[in-house]
Amino acid sequence: MNISKVAETLEGSVVAGDSASGREVGAVVASDLMSDVLLVDADEMLLLSSLASDQVVRTAHVVGAMGVVIHDSKPLPASMLAVSEQLGIPLVSSPLSKYESCVRIHQALESEKNG
């Protein structure tokens, strides 16, 4: 599942970064605590968070994440969009809650796996 498909699944849109990135979701982490995200050793992580700050994108870049999703249509600071563009991390804004997003992503990944 690439970032465009993630945005579509979560009824959102890619608001910064490369929306045509061909990178596929390798793992999913949902957290507002960046300290926790830094503990995860997984390739091509999709990071789901309710925290709309530059540091979420910086953390995503450090751990090699393929994209970031911010929930509940939270307003995104201009600096966050700029960091996202600069580091090449696609940023998705979704109106769904974090719980609903996790469920939808899980279902979509399972569906891909099965068929």
Torsion angle (degrees, nearest 10) of CA 95, 100, 64, 15: -10
Q: Is 85 in the site for another protein (CB under 8 A)?
A: yes
Give the whole-angstrom CA distance, residue 87 versus residue 8. 23
Judged by beta carbon, residue 64 or residue 95, the one nearer another protein is: 64
User: Which of the stretches 5-13, 82-90, 93-101, 106-114 binds another protein when contact is defined by CB under 8 A?
Assistant: 82-90
CB of 89 to another protein, least distance (A): 10
Q: Is 75 in the site for another protein (CB under 8 A)?
A: no
Evaluate whether 78 touches 94 at the Cβ level (below 8 Å). Answer: no
Number of Cβ atoms within 10 Å of the Cβ of 89: 25
> What residues make contact with another protein under the rule CB under 8 A?
32-36, 38-39, 41, 43, 49, 51, 53-56, 58-59, 61-64, 77-79, 82, 85-87
